[in-house]
Amino acid sequence: MADEGVHDTEAEGIREIAAEGVYEFESVDAAREAYESAGPVAQTVVKETAKAMAFDNTEYDERVTGDVIETAREALFASLLRVYHGSRENFEAWCADREWTVDLAGSESVESVVWHPVAVEETVVAASYQAEPDAAAATVRRRAFGRHYRELFE
């Protein structure tokens, strides 16, 4: 799934920018609303997962704490952040159009980049990758949540 929409046109040297994910926020209120709405979904996912693992009521009550549900909500929210895959040139052109802070993981010499704009902080979180777009996207999403969104919800 990670490579859907990511196309290299080697003969032309052009790389299309591909987007995946759901959330890209223009306001703190919109981000907060999405985060709040992820709570009941996370609770359902955890409950159904515990049921599939054959937890009885006692084990469920002992092991499924508020922290477990909160961790599931954070992971769910982060996994739905919209990211963009493109070439280094695409990313640099995107950045040139904005005066935002860049939070880049990885090497600046690697050709492929995935990024998530955190508009509410005028920051772009990015990671370079050679051959693992899914791993890079997951890194960007975790970093965006942990470094930028989490503090908005506390």
pLDDT of 105-143, one tens digit each? 999 899 999 999 999 999 999 999 999 999 999 999 999
Query: Is pLDDT larger for residue 99 or for residue 9?
Result: 99
| Domain total of the chain | 2
Question: Predicted confidence band at 93 (pLDDT cuts at 50, 70, 90)?
Answer: very high
Same domain flag for 70 and 122 = no
| Confidence (pTM) | 0.85
CA contacts within 13 A on the Cβ side of 146? 9
Same domain flag for 100 and 148 = yes
Same domain flag for 49 and 104 = no
Same domain flag for 75 and 40 = yes
Same domain flag for 38 and 67 = yes
- Provide CB contacts within 8 A for 33, sequence distance 6+: none
Same domain flag for 17 and 90 = yes
**CA 53, CA 45: separation in Å to the nearest integer?**
12
Q: Which range marks the domain in which residue 54 is found?
A: 28-80
Tell me which of 80, 97, 114 is where a domain ends: 80
pLDDT of res. 139:
97
- Is the separation of the CB atoms in 115 and 92 below 8 Å? no
Beta strands in 79-149 (DSSP E): 83-87, 101-105, 112-118, 123-129
**CA 130, CA 112: separation in Å to the nearest integer?**
6
Same domain flag for 9 and 75 = no
Tell me which of 80, 115, 145 is where a domain ends: 80
Same domain flag for 89 and 154 = yes
Same domain flag for 108 and 135 = yes
Same domain flag for 45 and 6 = no
DSSP state of 131: S
**CA 116, CA 123: separation in Å to the nearest integer?**
9
Same domain flag for 15 and 63 = no
**CA 39, CA 21: separation in Å to the nearest integer?**
18
pLDDT of res. 108:
86
Averaged pLDDT for residues 3-26: 68
Same domain flag for 94 and 52 = no
